[in-house]
Amino acid sequence: MKPVTLWRRFASLLLAVSLTAGPSAAAFAESSAQSDEVRELLEQYHLSKPADSTLDEAAIKGMVESLNDPYTEYFTQEEWTAYSGSLEQKFIGIGVKLIEEKGAVYIQDVIGGSPAEQAGIRAGDKIVSVDGRSVAGKTFAETQSEILGEEGSSVSIGITRSSGSHEFTMVRKPVQLPTAAGVWMGDGIGYLDLEGFSSDAYDKFAAELDKLERQGMKGLVIDLRDNGGGYTDQAQKIAALFIENGVLAHMIDREGNDKAMVVEGTSKSYPIRVLVNGNSASASELFAAALQDYGIAKLIGTRTYGKGVVQQIIPVSSGGVLKVTVEEYYTPKGYKVDRKGLAPDTVVAGAAEQLIAGYRSAGGGSLALAIGEGSVTVNRVRMGQPSAAIQQSGVWYVGTKLAAAIVGASVSYDSSSKTVFFKSENALNKVKTSDSRMRSEGGASYIDVRLLAKWYSGLTFSAAGGVLKIGYKG
């Protein structure tokens, strides 16, 4: 989205005029003359011999940055291609979703048919190197950037898992992440994961929802965790699947005008729970807030990101693109989202714990979990959660918070007596932290799965091949 010289200048002018008060003709002429003179002097004298186009791009970037708005951006054509691809969930890479935990990067999921799947990479693998270079000490973004690359280029990923260390070499290719995916969790509960509000989000979401409803769904869990947003019109269309008559949000422009996004659709008779976290942003918050305000759904998880502004995409004739913040939105009840986020109705930390809470709150009962290789599967829904359980001397220990979620108990710790309490409707169980059936690792506490089975008769477990399977009927 960076245009050639004249059109870049014109785009800069349009941007300035649209976001600031218009200058007088004399002031503008003086400013323009000064800018041109400085540009010519730099081109003539600076050691680096800067090109006119380079200085134009820098000038535009400088104007955009002066707004102190992280969401207003000016792109080159190459940058725009990459950005728009991300909106559509399209990437050049190996086809993995990553997650960071305690400074390490793990494979959260592997996309079907991708180079990673074909090579043998699995969810839960810990990444230790890229192209032979250790990723220790690198940020999540740095590791992710090294894995991405040009189409047709090769990359080698070194990983560790319970079976040892492995290295896989793959050729990068275009990968399309699934926009929406539905899973039947059992007990009449459907699960619908929405990765982003891409241009086809409504069509994909509606199709998956229809499949679940045809199975006789009695409750729905919508997963918006790590959904960074996308197109507001897609959020509006998806909201119409649940809101019969209302407003998705109030859009306030720079003059203070309120342009309400009206929704006219249908309503559902079954309970709906929406999973959110700190990476649920923008259109995700728009959609979740509306369902929450109207009492259609309850939010479960952690506070959302807090991006309550809307951008307009403005193509520049020479090939560049401006993404400009033009409105701020408020929820149907008038709640400000920007820089605040949405507070969930039920605060729950931990990926598996959040899903279990949503499943139970929607009406689900029986649980079937598989824990191992850095991931947790709950009733056929898999997610990355590397430290959910540990194995020591042949004995499995489950994270205390996850263990409590499985048996439907609350967990608390009394520091004076160094005792962990599991409290449920029918029982209060306790264990000292010094007990051999408790373990501590990496700042987290774990409980012997055998003790859980002793306390709760509805819990069964088995282990094989580095995977712990737990069933629970409460």
Dist. CA 192–CA 41, nearest whole Å: 59
Q: How far is CA 124 from the centre of its chain?
A: 17
pLDDT digit string (tens) for 438-471? 999 988 999 999 999 999 999 999 999 889 999 9
Contact 297, 221 (CB under 8 A): no
**What residue ranges define each of the domains in the chain, with the CATH number in brackets?**
5-68 (no CATH), 90-176 (2.30.42.10), 180-347 (3.90.226.10), 366-472 (no CATH)
Confidence of residue 161 (pLDDT cuts 50, 70, 90): confident
Q: Report which of 283, 196, 279, 175 is spatially closest to residue 239, judged by C-alpha positions.
A: 283
pLDDT at 77 exceeding the cut of 60: yes
Of 452, 383, 355, nearest to 107 by C-alpha is 383
- Answer yes or no: is pLDDT of 199 > 70: yes
pLDDT of res. 384 = 82
- Pairwise CA distance, residues 298 & 285, whole Å: 13
Least confident of 34-38, 193-197, 241-245, 381-385: 34-38
Tell me whether strands 272-276 and 297-301 are parallel, antiparallel or unpaired: parallel
Q: Phi and psi at residue 169, in whole multiples of 5°?
A: -110, 130
Residue 13's pLDDT is 26
* Strand 73-75 relative to strand 321-330, pairing: antiparallel
Alpha carbon 224 to chain centroid, angstroms: 7
Pairing of strands 154-161, 126-130: antiparallel
Give the pLDDT confidence score for residue 16 in this predicted structure.
Answer: 25
In tens, the pLDDT along 322-335 reads 898 999 999 999 99
Residue 47 has pLDDT above 70, yes or no: no
Q: Which residues of 377-412 are buried (b: 16+ CB within 10 A; e: fewer)?
A: bbbebbbbbbbbbbeeeeebbbbbbbbbbbbbbebe
Residue in the block written with tokens 């369902």: 291
* Integer angstrom CA distances of residue 380 from 172, 190, 244, 368: 29, 11, 31, 8
Residue 144 has pLDDT above 60, yes or no: yes
**Nearest by Cα to 404 from 362, 445, 434, 465:** 445
Mean pLDDT confidence for 171-175: 94
Q: How far is CA 474 from CA 115, 387, 422, 470, in A?
A: 41, 25, 15, 13
The answer to whether residue 426 scores a pLDDT higher than 90 is no
What does DSSP assign to residue 101? E
User: Within 13 Å of residue 461, how many CA atoms lie on the same side as its CB?
Assistant: 24
Q: What angle do CA 339, 340, 346 make, to 5 degrees?
A: 145
pLDDT band at 49 (very low <50, low <70, confident <90, very high): confident
pTM: 0.84
Query: Under 8 Å CB-to-CB from 240, ≥6 apart: which residues?
Result: 263, 264, 265, 266
Q: Which of 241-250, 313-322, 347-356 has the lowest mean pLDDT?
A: 313-322
What's the CA gap between 53 and 449, in Å, rounded? 65
Query: What is residue 43's predicted lDDT score, i.e. its pLDDT?
Result: 74
Amino acid letter, residue 266:
T
Given a cut of 90, is residue 50 above it in pLDDT?
Answer: no
Helices 232-239 and 201-214, interaxial angle, to 10°? 20
Q: Give dist(CA 78, CA 57) in Å, integer.
A: 14
